[in-house]
Amino acid sequence: MFSWVLLSGTLGALIFVVGCAEQKAAPASKPVVPVTVAEAAVKDVPIQLAAIGTVEAYSTVSMKSQVSGVLLRVHFKEGQEVRKGDLLFTIDPRPFESELRKAEANLARDLAFQKQAEANLARDTAQAENARVETRRYERLINAGVVAREQYEQIRANGEAMEASLRADKAAIENAQEAIRADKAAIENARIELDYCTIRSPIGGRTGSLILHEGNLVKDKDTIALVVINQITPIFVNFSVPEQNLPEIKKHMAGGKLKVQAVAPGQETNRPEGEVTFVDNAVDSSTGTIRLKGTFENKDKSLWPGQFVNVVLNLAYQKNAVVVPSQAVQTGQAGQYVFVVAADATAESRPVVAGRTFGADTVIEKGLQPGEKVVTDGQLRLVSGAKVQVKNAREAGNDTRS
């Protein structure tokens, strides 16, 4: 009886040990990794250069007075938009109006002098002609011995006096004409200075801080500007690129205008677009860069003078490039790679050659075909051959990136 119980226990122990051994020998099943995928798409990708730029006013005018006087009135508010020709300042015009009236009076006086001199010339011309006739008659009479030489000499002296009067009258007319020309110049100058009493905007733009206020004395040719006006529509953006990019820029500019974007920090959704309108005529030897300038319409006034912006210069387009979301590209010891999801829902690690990035996408120069699905999230848990579960299966099937 005792031996039977012992045998039964031994058999049970053996069965337990064999069962444990079989469980350990069974292969462990690989876990399914949830991932997010996207399709490799075909796009025309722009070839771009990036730089830091500064915004510059299209035109800047420092308004200064050209005459001295009391600032009578300011016709705008600081920071106001003004149009070309708008009245900005009025300087007390009374001293200049007085100068104009004085110059006009001088002209009237000298015109009267000219008329008097012309009248004298006409009178003396008639008298001189009569004196010439008398002189010739007395010459005949003295030759005939009819009159005394004293009478002849007196007649001849009168004729010479009339000739001198003629010359004096002509000189008086010339002097009056010179005075009239000077008076007209003085009138013109007085009118110009009177016009300078009203200062108008030569451009359309935005006014800055007002330096002098009403009641202050302004001086002509003063170094201090009354106000500075910046034209900001359109507007310039200055930026520099390395000199090694100059041949490529010149090549693409030969085919037409180059587009450029300016993005202000914190305003990435607003990307104003302009055209490159200036390339400097020399490379800056101290920095090894070439300066360019883009012109932007700036209708929404999102660009402001003195502002720093991120500049993107579009040179050309790479046609039919294979692109994937940038987060799909991983870097390992052997280089860059992506995980490609096969039709049997397994992941394959595939080496690729990545090119330039554009926005959220990266160009794949080699290693992928359009339409292949790549993992964009969940790569940390993946190895080649691992089973995957696509979390965005619906979106992946309807991927419409272009």
Supply the DSSP string of 299-337, one letter for each residue: TT----TT-EEEEEEEEEEEEEEEEEEGGG-EEETTEEE
Q: Give the Cα separation of 29 and 112 in Å (integer).
A: 123
Total length of the chain = 402
Q: What is the pLDDT of residue 221?
A: 80
Q: Which fold has domain 37-56+234-397?
A: Elongation Factor Tu (Ef-tu); domain 3 (2.40.30)
Cβ-in-10-Å burial (0-12, 13-18, 19+) of 29 comes to: exposed
Q: Give the Cα separation of 402 and 392 in Å (integer).
A: 18
Q: Give the Cα separation of 19 and 29 in Å (integer).
A: 19
Please state, in angstroms and as integers, the Cα–Cα distance from residue 247 to each residue in 1, 290, 293, following that order.
104, 11, 17
Question: Which CATH number does the domain 65-92+199-224 belong to among 3.20.20.70, 3.40.50.2300, 3.90.79.10, 2.40.50.100?
Answer: 2.40.50.100
Q: Give the Cα separation of 144 and 138 in Å (integer).
A: 10
* Backbone φ and ψ of 364, nearest 5°: -105, 110
Q: What is the pLDDT of residue 324?
A: 94
Hunting for tokens 């300042």 — which residue is that? 89
Q: What is the pLDDT of residue 10?
A: 46
Q: What is the pLDDT of residue 200?
A: 96
Q: What is the pLDDT of residue 1?
A: 42
Mean pLDDT of the chain: 86
Q: What would the pLDDT profile of 359-386 be if each residue is shown by its tens digit?
A: 789 999 998 999 999 999 988 888 888 8
- Confirm if 297 and 261 have CB atoms less than 8 A apart: no
Q: What is the pLDDT of residue 28?
A: 52
What angle (nearest 5°) sits at the alpha carbon of residue 97, between those of residues 94 and 100? Answer: 155
Q: Give the Cα separation of 388 and 168 in Å (integer).
A: 119
Domain boundaries, the chain: 37-56+234-397, 65-92+199-224, 94-195
Q: Give the Cα separation of 76 and 201 in Å (integer).
A: 11
Per-run averaged pLDDT (10 residues), the chain, 402 residues: 43 47 51 90 88 96 94 95 96 96 95 91 83 78 74 79 86 93 96 96 95 92 91 96 92 90 87 94 94 95 94 88 93 91 90 87 91 91 88 51 44
The CATH-assigned architecture of domain 94-195 is Orthogonal Bundle (1.10)
Task: Return the H-helix or E-strand segment holding 275.
Answer: strand 273-279
